[in-house]
Amino acid sequence: DTGVSQNPRHKITKRGQNVTFRCDPISEHNRLYWYRQTLGQGPEFLTYFQNEAQLEKSRLLSDRFSAERPKGSFSTLEIQRTEQGDSAMYLCASSDGGGFETQYFGPGTRLLVL
């Protein structure tokens, strides 16, 4: 399967702990996106990368959140000092960045902060 993969699929943590999620995009897709989705809402854009460069960050991405894509392939999203409000599904999507690009989503990482 050459789709977008995300790990872990589920994460339960205690408030105040740090967590890190990984996303592996579709092979050769140069754009990678992170979104957050809470129950009953649509996904909300967090940030995106073109190759290894982080080109846009939403105001939703507080200082406790950091994302990297060091070699332009996989990406990590870290949340420091987690809060209960961080509980959500974290979705990764990738695209080839073409003129009419479409984004394909991974299965998501479901985070529960106790």
**Chain residues that interact with another protein, rule: CB under 8 A:** 31, 33, 35, 40-48, 55-56, 58, 89, 91, 100-108
- Closer Cβ to another protein, 17 or 112, answer by number: 112
Task: Provide the minimum distance between the beta carbon of 68 and another protein in the complex, in angstroms, as a whole number.
Answer: 18
- Closer Cβ to another protein, 25 or 108, answer by number: 108
Q: Which segments within 1-114 are labelled E, that is strand? A: 5-7, 10-13, 19-24, 31-37, 44-50, 53-57, 65-68, 75-79, 88-95, 104-105, 109-113
- Is residue 3 within 8 Å of residue 106, measured between CB atoms? yes
Nearest-angstrom CA–CA distance, 68 and 57 = 12
Task: Provide the minimum distance between the beta carbon of 77 and another protein in the complex, in angstroms, as a whole number.
Answer: 14
Task: Provide the minimum distance between the beta carbon of 62 and another protein in the complex, in angstroms, as a whole number.
Answer: 16
Nearest-angstrom CA–CA distance, 99 and 35 = 21
- Closer Cβ to another protein, 21 or 35, answer by number: 35
- Closer Cβ to another protein, 47 or 82, answer by number: 47
